[in-house]
Amino acid sequence: MAQVLEFRLPDLGEGLTEAEIVRWLVQVGDVVAVDQPVVEVETAKAMVEVPCPYGGVITARFGEEGTELPVGAPLLTVAVGAPAEPGEESSGNVLVGYGTTAAPARRRRVRPAQPAAQPANGAPREAEPVGGEMPVSTARRPASAPGRTHRVAAPEHHDGPVPVISPLVRRLARENGVDLRQLAGSGPDGLILRADVEGALRAMTARPEALAAPADMAAVSGPVTSAPSAAVRTTAPTGGTRIPLKGVRGAVADKLSRSRREIPDATCWVDADATELLRARAAMNAAGGTKISLLALLARICTAALARYPELNSTVDMDAREIVRLDDVHLGFAAQTERGLVVPVVRDAHTRDAESLTAEFARLTEAARAATLTPGELTGGTFTLNNYGVFGVDGSTPIINHPEAAMLGVGRIVPRPWVHEGELAVRQVVQLSLTFDHRVCDGGTAGGFLRYVADCVEQPAVLLRTL
């Protein structure tokens, strides 16, 4: 006699509380092996294949493609010990890494042990080169990241037994004056989903008198939803196209808003003659072996500058009122993809040479374009390098990748008139900009960092002398 087991959406780690079903990898009636991937989901950080810890026959699936489910919601049921799969048991694994190394799937159609359940309600979601105008990490730094860790504030809780898992749902409700205790959740066991809050907001927009603006509305940024806030206008617009702030785009919006709210940033910039840096790279590549990328040389300069100015490789713990200076440099870089802007992280960048940096940049960029970056490869950065010059622009004022303390922006390198050795000449000039958290240092430190970077760009031998 088969035993029907329920497999729920597991905790995907990194503070994630919900995911969207992108693609089912199995059908009702399929036979699956232990740890076989059964569904592909998208979080705010990455695409993840979720393996099932049970082996047997799929008897039901919960949620159509495009449905957003909270952690803990049912994904599917499996008949374990059915005649088609004798002896299959649970592997004990809930999620194998952030993908799977399971053996190739064995799929076979058989009659399901029981009728398929109806899909659970949920809110549907819409699902070149290195660079980007406003790069952000789609996720918080994990507490277990290599190097010195930092403290984070304990998660907030609502008063009363409100069935809410997601902190994003709580914040969305709080910032728009929605009383969660008045909502009936559409999720499993009455769980309140983001769709429930958004539905309440739409109802409030239709009846503006029902919406009471929160007392601290002036102190927070706009709501993280496309629904208008009645505190700003009382009638919905009749035209235009609404694009949900979800998935990667929603994570970007949250990250940028938080950075602007919490970080008192300042920006300084300088033009630098990059002619000698380009010549040095050409000479290195002419010698044979691995071709060194310009981004790798800039990254090498950044890590050397951070060794001299460690204040910029830090984060701020406002709860403890402490600046946490980090020992290791995990260098993020902006990568534009079809899914949006992501910031992969090169671990221990300060220990890598130019060849190693080139290889890691290439690997992570390819993974970003293929949407195979893991959450671990998108979190834990301590400093970000943003090469927006690939978009053909000269300068920008980058928004800091919260909770980091600084970001270096690099514009395009173009021939310009320049005074070189007392004479006017055409040189290859680049604009460098540094946005920094003014809480961790003052302008003297930031200016010293940027000037050192510019000196290394203009005279690469400066870098060799300081190593």
Q: What is the mean pLDDT of residues 8-27?
A: 81
Is 442 considered catalytic here?
A: yes
**What domains are there in the chain, each with its CATH number?**
1-116 (2.40.50.100), 167-246 (4.10.320.10), 264-466 (3.30.559.10)
Stated pTM of the model: 0.58
Q: Which helix H or strand E contains 78, and what residues bound it? A: strand 74-80
| pLDDT attached to residue 205 | 65
Q: Is the pLDDT of residue 240 over 60?
A: yes
Q: What span, in angstroms and rounded, lies between the C-alpha atoms of 43 and 18? A: 7
Axis crossing angle, helix 167-175 with helix 194-206, rounded to the nearest 10 = 10
Provide the pLDDT for residue 466.
Answer: 59
CA distances from 274 to 230, 296, 387, 422, 453 (A): 51, 15, 14, 17, 11
* pLDDT per position as a tens digit, 41-86: 887 667 788 899 999 999 999 988 888 888 889 999 999 974 444 4
101 contacts 310 by C-beta, under 8 angstroms? no
What pLDDT, on a 0 to 100 scale, did the predictor assign at position 341? 81
Estimate to the nearest angstrom the gap between the alpha carbon of 294 and the chain centroid.
25
Q: Is 455 labeled as catalytic in the residue annotation?
A: no
Place of tokens 């402490």: 322
- In this predicted model, what pLDDT tens digit does every residue of 394-411 receive, in sequence order? 999 989 999 999 999 999
Q: What is the pLDDT of residue 230?
A: 40
Q: What is the pLDDT of residue 340?
A: 77
For residues 92 and 328, the model is more confident at: 328
Residue 182, pLDDT above cutoff 50: yes
- Has residue 290 got a pLDDT over 80? yes
What's the confidence (pLDDT) of residue 61? 95
Residue 190 pLDDT > 50, yes or no?
yes
What is the pLDDT averaged over residues 387-398?
A: 91
pLDDT of 14 reads 56
Residues 443 and 423: their CA atoms lie apart, in Å, by 31
pLDDT higher for 233 or 22?
22
Q: Please tell me which of 37-51, 213-227, 336-350, 453-467 the model is most confident about, judged by mean pLDDT.
A: 336-350
pLDDT of residue 253 exceeding 90, the answer is no
Is residue 315 a contact partner of residue 147, using CB atoms and an 8 Å limit?
Answer: no
Contact (Cβ atoms closer than 8 angstroms) between residue 343 and residue 335: yes
Q: Which of 11, 179, 327, 442 is catalytic?
A: 442
What band does 5 get if pLDDT is binned at 50, 70 and 90?
very high
Higher pLDDT, 120 or 271: 271
Active-site option among 216, 254, 438, 455: 438
- Confirm if 395 and 433 have CB atoms less than 8 A apart: yes
**CB of 84 closer than 8 Å to CB of 108:** yes
391: phi then psi, degrees, rounded to nearest 5:
-90, 5
